[in-house]
Structure 1
């Protein structure tokens, strides 16, 4: 499979579809059906079932219960099954029976967020190619979703990181997106990432550029990650905050942190190679 991106998925690492609870549901269904068939046979012992009406009724109820669980198992099939590959994620749409491949190198946005009231734990991730592409959610209704979320973050850093760094070295800007605190908190209310309205800004050799405002790279001394508050701040040499955002309000936050620190170190140690050539 070599999609239009020209990047092949590579070796299959893992497949993430139904959860263990789905397997338990299917196994229970099979056991009930088996018990429903075996009960009258064992009770009758080769004789007539008419002499054992209670066993017949119990068998019928067991079969109905098994069939009901089988229907529930089918109804709970996830809308998407995600296959983790070396170079990206293949999305299988179970309703339309179509597949799509999103390479790590083309994942412009990763959106970590929380759903429900889970003690502050980040339990959801969504990814997309760009602002015009649909989000693909990685929720806990997929098997081993926690490990898959970690692998996607690692894959984006591994594959997209060098590409964006080369773009910065060539004087180009890299687009990032943020959401408001209101939208960030709305994730707990069950709204999906598809409802998110994001604002774009640029990381460039000049610094961090917003609409009508630029924080020069020369003014940025460090990146601070608030361990308890979740804040992410750009600080000057005196420790003053030049810009701040919540970690979960910044798409691809880990990629932004790595690139920002690389630019700062390049300037501090005179490594060079990053020039301004605004072509966007």
Structure 2
């Protein structure tokens, strides 16, 4: 693969930090402060405020509310702000003012999940370079998180896909990870994807390789995606299931599907002819 240090972020596309709720909170704070200062001055008409005690009290309350809202806005500042670039994601840590760059080409794992519930829409994504790297989460607490999650999935396919395909053509194996159904169903309560127990396996020119099992590529006829159940299965020519996993239990599931179908098509049309060198 390509070292992350050798990739530049590229063109800046969008910044994802505070949400619309934060903007509304700041606007309310500014409105209260403005009203707290302007209203009593207008009522007094240039005269003394002592003649308008009620307006003075109301102004003081408005100023206190405005200051409270401003403090709340500051305290709700996200710990990380993500900047989307052509070649990857720049993570700005607001507390330490340190930036990390994770290229799409180096994103080994994308973990899609649901927070706070066992059903419903996917509202969380975490990405990392490999099993030894930290996770970075994209939750709805970030502004325009839905679009950012889609851009990350697309970026991994665009940048990492060709690299992994070339690795397979060179006889190398590409590591993927799965989590158990129990972990997938666990309520996450919006927490980061830390310490998620995952099992590694390889997609290689030989097929799909586990610790104690290898499914030969020659036996895999199709990749079936269950549209309603979320299942992802490898089928033989008779439609028998050789291996199955839930889409949300497989890290980088979209990349796996694309690579698997490419290998099947290459074998079907007699293309490629890669062999495994077992360098992994």
1:160 is aligned to 2:155: no
2:250 corresponds to which residue?
Answer: 250
1:95 is aligned to 2:95: yes
TM-fit CA distance, 1:100: 0.4
2:126 corresponds to which residue?
Answer: 126
2:63 corresponds to which residue?
Answer: 63
d(CA) in 2 for partners of 1:210, 1:187? 28
Conserved? CA contact 2:173–2:278, under 8 Å: yes
The alignment's C-alpha RMSD in Å is 1.3
CA offsets, 1:152-193, max 9 Å, x none?
Answer: 000000000000000000000000000001111114444431
TM-fit CA distance, 1:277: 1.1
2:269 corresponds to which residue?
Answer: 269
1:259 corresponds to which residue?
Answer: 259
d(CA) in 1 for partners of 2:126, 2:136? 5
SS of 2:9 mapped into structure 1:
coil
Of 118-127 and 27-36, the range deviating more from structure 2: 118-127
SS of 2:171 mapped into structure 1:
coil
Conserved? CA contact 2:4–2:102, under 8 Å: no
d(CA) in 1 for partners of 2:48, 2:180? 72
CA offsets, 1:137-160, max 9 Å, x none?
Answer: 000011110000000000000000
Structure 1: which 4+ aligned runs deviate by more than 2 Å?
Answer: 116-119, 187-192
SS of 1:195 mapped into structure 2:
coil
Structure 1 residue ranges without an equivalent (≥5): none
1:231 is aligned to 2:231: yes
d(CA) in 2 for partners of 1:75, 1:185? 32
Alignment of 1:60-209 (within 5 A): 60-117=60-117, 119-209=119-209
Conserved? CA contact 2:16–2:145, under 8 Å: yes
1:210 is aligned to 2:204: no
d(CA) in 2 for partners of 1:14, 1:140? 16
| Count of residues in correspondence between the two structures | 278
SS of 2:158 mapped into structure 1:
helix
1:32 corresponds to which residue?
Answer: 32
Q: What TM-score, normalized by structure 1, do the two folds share?
A: 0.97
TM-fit CA distance, 1:55: 0.6
CA shift in 2, pair 1:118/1:26, >3 Å: farther
2:241 corresponds to which residue?
Answer: 241
Q: What TM-score, normalized by structure 2, do the two folds share?
A: 0.97
Conserved? CA contact 1:113–1:187, under 8 Å: no
CA shift in 2, pair 1:4/1:221, >3 Å: closer
d(CA) in 1 for partners of 2:169, 2:252? 20
